[in-house]
Structure 1
Amino acid sequence: MQVLAKLCLIPLAFAFPSQRRADRPVYWLLAGDSTTAPKGGWGDGFLATTVAPGSSGHNYGHSGATTASFRSGGDWAKVIADIGTFKKDYEVYVTIQAITLFGHNDQKSNSGVTLDQYKTNLQQFAAESKSAGATPILVTPLTRRTFKDGKVVENLAEQRNATISVAQANSIGFIDLTLKSENYVNALGQSVVSRYNYQPEDWTHLNEWGGVVFARIVSDLLVGKFPVLKAATKANETMSALIEAGKPA
Structure 2
Amino acid sequence: MHSSCLISLALTFGALAAPGPTSFVLIGDSTTANGTSLNSGGWGNGFCASLSSGTPCINTARNGASTGSFVANGFWDAAIAAIKAEVGVGRRTLATIQFGHNDQKIAGPESMGKNLTSMVQQIRALGGEPVLLTSLTRRSFNSDGTINDTLQPWATETMTVASQTQTRLLDLHKTSIKYCEAIGPPYCHVLNKSPDDNTHLNEKGSTVFGRMVADLLVGSVPSTELPIITNAALSYNISHGIPSFYS
Q: TM class by shorter-chain length?
A: 0.7 to 0.9
Within-5 A mapping of 1:198-209: 198-209=193-204
Distance in 2 (CA, whole Å) between partners of 1:81 and 1:158 is: 31
User: 2:66 maps to what in 1?
Assistant: 66
The reply to whether residue 36 of structure 1 matches residue 37 of structure 2 is: no
1:128 to 1:44, Cα distance in 2 relative to 1, 3 A: same
* Residue in structure 2 matched with residue 51 of structure 1 by the alignment: 51
Question: How far did residue 44 of structure 1 move?
Answer: 1.3
Does residue 128 (structure 1) correspond to residue 129 (structure 2)? The answer is no
* Counterpart mapping for 1:5-154 below 5 A: 24-39=20-35, 40-48=41-49, 50-87=50-87, 88-97=89-98, 102-108=99-105, 111=106, 113-149=107-143, 150-154=145-149
**What's the % identity of the aligned pairs?**
38
> Offset of 1:225 from its aligned partner?
1.4
CA distance in 2, matches of 1:231, 1:208: 24
Higher relative contact order (CA 8 A, sep 6+): 2
Task: Report the Cα distance in structure 1 between the residues aligned to 2:122 and 2:241, rounded to whole angstroms.
Answer: 37
Query: What is the DSSP-based 3-state SS (H/G/I as helix, E as strand, rest coil) of the residue aligned with 1:137?
Result: strand
* Amino acid of the structure 1 residue aligned with 2:26: L
Q: Is the 8 A contact 2:132 2:170 kept in 1?
A: yes
**Structure 1 residue 77 displacement after superposition:** 0.6
* TM-score, normalised with respect to structure 1: 0.85
- 1:195 and 1:115 map into 2 onto residues whose CA distance is 30
* Pair 1:240-2:235 in alignment: yes
Segments of structure 1 that go 5 or more residues without pairing to the other structure are 1-21
- Trace 1:139-218 onto structure 2 (pairs within 5 A): 139-149=133-143, 150-218=145-213
Tell me, in whole angstroms, the C-alpha distance in 2 between the residues paired with 1:90 and 1:228: 17
Preserved CA contact (<8 Å) 2:100 2:135 = yes
Q: Contact between 1:147 and 1:153, CA under 8 Å: does it hold in 2?
A: yes
Q: Cα distance, 1:128 vs. partner?
A: 0.3
**Aligned residue pairs, count:** 220
1:230–1:184: structure 2 CA closer, same or farther, 3 Å change rule?
farther
State the SS of the aligned residue for 1:232: coil
- How far apart are the structure 2 equivalents of 1:55 and 1:26? 7
Q: Which runs of 4+ in 1 moved over 4 A?
A: none
